[in-house]
Amino acid sequence: MPIYSLTELQEILVEQAEQWRPIAFTNGCFDLLHVGHVRYLQAAKKLGKCLIVGINSDRSVQQLKGIHRPIIPEAQRAEIVAALANVDGVVIFAETTASNLIQALQPEIYVKGGDYQIYNLPEAPLVLSYGGRIELIQVEISTSTSKIVKKIMDLNLVNEDAPIA
């Protein structure tokens, strides 16, 4: 299972640079993995020799999404993402941005979804400062974990007596 600590990843990238670089790196909560996530990660992998995914810790997800999130604990989210064929490495991070990971790993390509703009990515100045590039990927599936959670909540309110499978 390619789940690493930051120190382990740094060592691998020094020892096996030819096999790993250029790195495509992305990050996110990846709570309730859905087809939008899968297609996004497939596209991200095509941009580098390897794909490393930073997963927000439970605490940082709560800071970003509210006290009722994440739904899936960080270790399980990391395991699910790491099991995807396109993902070469996963690292969990505690901050609300991936700046510390990016500073430590210096990926050649920083990848985010097309719902972001470069000017509002807090990591953008850092990536550009060391010569990295930023790629925004448009995924044709318009879904999000927040939308899925809302739909589940709406269904539960409407069908209070409905059995949950």
98, 138, 95: which is closest to 117 by C-alpha?
138
User: Residue 52, exposed/middle/buried by CB under 10 A (0-12, 13-18, 19+)?
Assistant: buried
Set out the domains of the chain in order of their start, with CATH numbers: 3-140 (3.40.50.620)
Write out the chain's pLDDT in tens, 165 residues: 699 999 999 999 999 999 999 999 999 999 888 888 899 999 999 999 999 999 999 999 999 988 888 889 999 999 999 999 999 999 999 999 999 999 999 999 999 988 888 999 999 999 999 999 999 998 766 666 666 667 666 776 655 555 555
CB 79 within 8 A of CB 64: no
Phi, psi dihedrals of residue 73, rounded to the nearest 5°: -65, 155
What is the model's pTM? 0.86
Segment (H or E) for 14: helix 6-15
